[in-house]
Structure 1
Amino acid sequence: MEPSADPAARPAGAVLYARYAGRLPAALEKLAGPAHGVVEVPLHVAWSGLRAYDLDRPRLRMGLYRTVLAEGGHEDLVTLLNHDLLVAQWPVLRTLISRHVRTAWEDAFPELAAPVSSAA
């Protein structure tokens, strides 16, 4: 077996990237989570601390998205995250999540990585 074929020889960053990329929805439009109200996340996503997030409170909404992006599986992503909220929050949210999560999402969905143009 070649060293590069051995999963244990893969850099940790590559393993993390693959983990996050493997959870992604087929399209951003598949994110069908709520846009308002209180969302309670399952224990496998938030095993300690806050588990109920009020989407109408920006800081709590951002906390929910950070937690689900980092810890949620595919089904959690599509049922807890909302397409419009994710896109609207992404410019700030991308600075609050790990590089591996951010890169996996922006590689899969280039519209997230698009620079925001400023009005003159």
Structure 2
Amino acid sequence: MLGTQTTAAGGAFLARPGRPAVVTRTVAELNGPLTGVVELPLRLMWCADRTFDLADPDQLLWMYENVLREATRTDDLRRHLNGTLLRRLWPELNLPHGVRRAWEARHRSLRRAA
């Protein structure tokens, strides 16, 4: 599957049971917004309120956690996440173990940031 990261043994890191974590090739390709209000599509956020004010630190973290956990394609990551913000937020994000390991395996700079 395009964008999935695998373990040394060849298995996929999982975002949750049965769903591989999706990772972009580079952090630099994440060109999502730095400011404003973002509305996530239903496939990334299942709640009625899917809008996030990026000026609110709690909402920003919540949005990044949901996108990283729920993304099934790299386009979702590119559209909604920003590489600069991801690097800054990385140590604070509450992520499933498989998602964190997949991203850190592909992007060593995130491992050092944590």
TM-score class, shorter-chain normalisation, is 0.7 to 0.9
CA separation of 1:114/1:49 partners in 2, compared to 1, >3 Å: closer, same or farther? same
Q: More helix by proportion, 1 or 2?
A: 1
What is the alpha-carbon root mean square deviation over aligned residues? 1.9
**Match of residue 70 from structure 2:** 71
* Structure 1, 107-116 or 64-73: larger mean CA deviation: 107-116
1:115/1:35 Cα in 2 relative to 1: closer, same or farther (>3 Å)?
closer
Query: Number of residues paired by the alignment?
Result: 100
Aligned-residue sequence identity (percent) comes to 36
Which among 96, 102, 105 is matched to residue 103 of structure 2? 105
2:40 matched residue in structure 1: 41
Ranges in structure 2 where 5+ consecutive residues have no aligned partner: 1-10
- Distance in 1 between the 2:13 and 2:104 partners? 17
The CA deviation string for residues 9-44 of structure 1, in whole angstroms up to 9 with x for no partner, is xxxx84626711xx2111000000000000000011
Q: Secondary structure at the match of 2:55?
A: coil
What is aligned with 1:84?
84
Report the Cα distance in structure 2 between the residues aligned to 1:15 and 1:57, rounded to whole angstroms.
30
- The one-letter code sitting in structure 1 at the alignment partner of 2:100 is R
Higher share in strand? 2
Give yes or no for the alignment of 1:19 onto 2:20.
yes
TM-score, normalised via structure 2 length: 0.80
Relative to the length of structure 1, the TM-score reads: 0.76
Which entry has the higher C-alpha Rg, 1 or 2? Answer: 1
Q: Stretches of 4+ moved more than 4 A in 1? A: none
Instruction: Give the drift of 1:115.
Output: 5.3
